Amino acid sequence: MPMFKDFDGWNKRKKEINEHPSPLFNENEIWGCFLGVNIGSEQDGKAERFMRPVLIIKKFNKDVFWGLPLTHSFKSNPYYHRLSHNSESNLCLSQLKLIDAKRLSHMRGKITSIESNIIKEKLRKLLF
């Protein structure tokens, strides 16, 4: 049975988020991010705020970045990376997404440059 997705609630929330200013952010930071309700197997935000933690993997300018959503799910395959600072947090590498900074809510943490390099190498192998 398909899970209910609140597209109407997300559309209302998205209009509010669009009016927010973009916060200052940097690579390797983990932020609460309004990912919203998405189609099919794409990662959704959770609860009434439609939020999920996201790692900023590549900053292109003050407005957009590539982000990787975090999940509690983990599978032992090339599409996941378990974060070293929290054994319950995993990156879903296959869900790499261009994200506008207006979707960012608050910084939740940061990874080391060493772990960032490991993640980027896994992404290179996955993409190429």
Rounded to two decimals, what is the model's pTM?
Answer: 0.88
User: Percent helix, strand and coil across the chain, each rounded to 5?
Assistant: 25, 30, 45
Average pLDDT over residues 44-66: 89
Q: Give me the chain's average pLDDT, please.
A: 88
Nearest alpha carbon to residue 116 among 66, 63, 61, 60: 66
Q: What CATH number was assigned to the domain covering residues 7-127? A: 2.30.30.110
Nearest alpha carbon to residue 74 among 62, 54, 63, 88: 88
Which residues, including other chains, have CB under 8 Å from residue 59's CB and lie 6 or more apart? 25, 26, 27, 65
Are 109 and 77 contacting, i.e. CB atoms less than 8 angstroms apart? Answer: no
Query: Beta-carbon neighbour count of residue 24 at 10 Å?
Result: 9
Q: Where are the domains of the chain?
A: 7-127
pLDDT at residue 107 is higher than 60: yes
Q: Which of 39-43, 101-105, 120-124 has the lowest mean pLDDT?
A: 39-43
Q: How far is CA 19 from the centre of its chain?
A: 20
Please report which confidence band the pLDDT of residue 67 belongs to, taking 50, 70 and 90 as the band edges: very high
Average pLDDT over residues 36-42: 69
Average pLDDT over residues 94-101: 94
Torsion angle defined by CA atoms of residues 7, 12, 18 and 22, in that order, rounded to the nearest 10 degrees: -80
Instruction: Provide the pLDDT for residue 44.
Output: 67
